[in-house]
Amino acid sequence: MEIEKGIKIKDLALIYKDHLIISDLHIGLEEALNKQGILIPRFQFKEIKQRLEPLLLKKIKVIVINGDLKHEFGTISEQEWRHTLQVLDLLLENNRKVILVKGNHDTILGPIADKRNLKVVDKYEIDDITIIHGNKIKEINTKIIIIGHEHPAVTIKDNIRNETYKCFLKGKYKNKILIVTPSFSLVKQGYDVLNFDNHTLYIKNIDNFEVFVVEDKIYNFGKVKNLF
């Protein structure tokens, strides 16, 4: 499904020409939770790899990781060293190029990036699109902005249970088209857009954003204001 002309949703990623765009993998989140006493098995790395592999189409030449590749702020855990490098090796296969856009969790991403001769950038531009994590305001001169950071999701309720699904959002930031990608982290589903309080830097008037839910396929749920 196209979320904007030329920009397609495929699972939890966007594809534009020969670019694959993903965000918020938060590799190492399970170890961080374990250190806090939360007993969660370390399953995410295996499932991230399984979910990434079908996205690495032959036409994909550039992969943009739009922030928060790893989880820890002030250190690099053993799990982060091992699993982040393995994910990067998978993405770099077949001479693909990897762009690391800095996120708020990427304060100490440099040593990992150096191991694979990669640079960490504040934003990445292609044609009329700026890809930026979304935790800081930067000067943007393109028509379209793609951010991560917000981990959007939708919770659907009935009389028996609640189900939460990751989703993409599309709306406006000033006079520009804003696309918000879900997190590629498989530990947490994300934050319900029905409870967003417009505290974010880029998302204003959430009611007028369109919602694209990721499940067995992509579903256009219409605007947030129509979900209440």
pLDDT in tens, 194-209: 888 756 899 988 999 9
Amino acid at 183: S
Helix (H) or strand (E) holding 90: helix 78-92
pLDDT in tens, 129-160: 999 999 999 999 999 999 999 999 998 877 67
- What topology is assigned to 2-226 in CATH? Purple Acid Phosphatase; chain A, domain 2 (3.60.21)
* Residues near 14 by beta carbon (within 8 Å), at least 6 away in sequence: 3, 7, 8, 20, 21, 22, 146, 168, 179, 181
